[in-house]
């Protein structure tokens, strides 16, 4: 109306710990531990422990094999073979989890798969970021791109 001031639109900015700041692409095979703070999106393959103070997204092409994946928020659209300990877990329709889960909040889309036990806690602590360096890798790691089983070698 005339004479009324319109309020400008507001935009919520996610804290840095919630945004993806690092990406392991579809051609990456990572063997070793992944630790630190921030947000990580995994579209390749990871074999090793994951402890992130922040967000971990396993994309549709992502595959994680670990003893335990720990993070504040975990979103699974790919595959995880290992236990998950997080504050919030989302399993998307394409997501597959084989392992036990300890979480404070769980949501899943129709078609999501989870084989394991779920224990709900009021609060789940994640590893402190200052206890681990930004990126810590064990002695045996590989960042070589490997052809996936779905694609013939070049």
**Tens of pLDDT along 88-118?**
999 999 999 999 999 999 999 999 999 999 9
Q: How many domains are contained in the chain?
A: 1
pLDDT for 105:
96
Residue 151 counted as domain residue: no
pLDDT for 150:
47
pLDDT for 129:
56
pLDDT for 90:
97
Residue 17 counted as domain residue: no
pLDDT for 124:
86
The model's confidence at residue 17, banded by pLDDT at 50, 70 and 90, is very low
Residue 15 counted as domain residue: no
pLDDT for 21:
85
Residue 139 has pLDDT above 80, yes or no: no
Q: Look up the domain containing 111 and give its range.
A: 22-125
Residue 86 counted as domain residue: yes
Residue 29 counted as domain residue: yes
Residue 37 counted as domain residue: yes
Residue 13 has pLDDT above 60, yes or no: no
Sequence-distant (≥ 6) Cβ neighbours of residue 133 within 8 angstroms: 35, 36
Cα 78 from Cα 22, distance rounded (Å): 17
Residue-wise pLDDT for 18-72, tens only, equals 688 889 999 999 999 999 999 999 999 999 999 999 999 999 999 999 999 999 9
Residue 133 counted as domain residue: no
Q: pTM for the complete prediction?
A: 0.73
Residue 73 has pLDDT above 90, yes or no: yes
């Amino acid at each position: 109306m005339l004479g009324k001031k319109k309020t400008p639109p507001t935009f919520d900015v996610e804290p840095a710990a919630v945004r993806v700041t690092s990406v392991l692409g579809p051609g990456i095979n990572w063997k070793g531990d992944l630790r630190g703070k921030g947000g990580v999106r995994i579209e390749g393959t990871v074999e090793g422990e994951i402890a992130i103070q922040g967000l971990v997204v396993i994309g549709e092409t992502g595959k994680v094999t670990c003893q335990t994946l720990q993070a504040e928020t975990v979103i699974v659209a790919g595959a995880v073979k290992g236990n998950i300990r997080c504050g919030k877990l989302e399993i998307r329709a394409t997501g597959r989890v084989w392992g036990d889960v300890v979480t404070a909040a769980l949501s899943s889309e129709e078609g999501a798969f989870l084989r394991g036990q779920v224990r709900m806690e009021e609060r789940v602590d994640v590893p402190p970021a200052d206890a681990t360096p930004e990126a810590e890798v064990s002695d045996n790691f590989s960042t070589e791109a490997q052809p996936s089983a779905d694609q013939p070698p070049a």
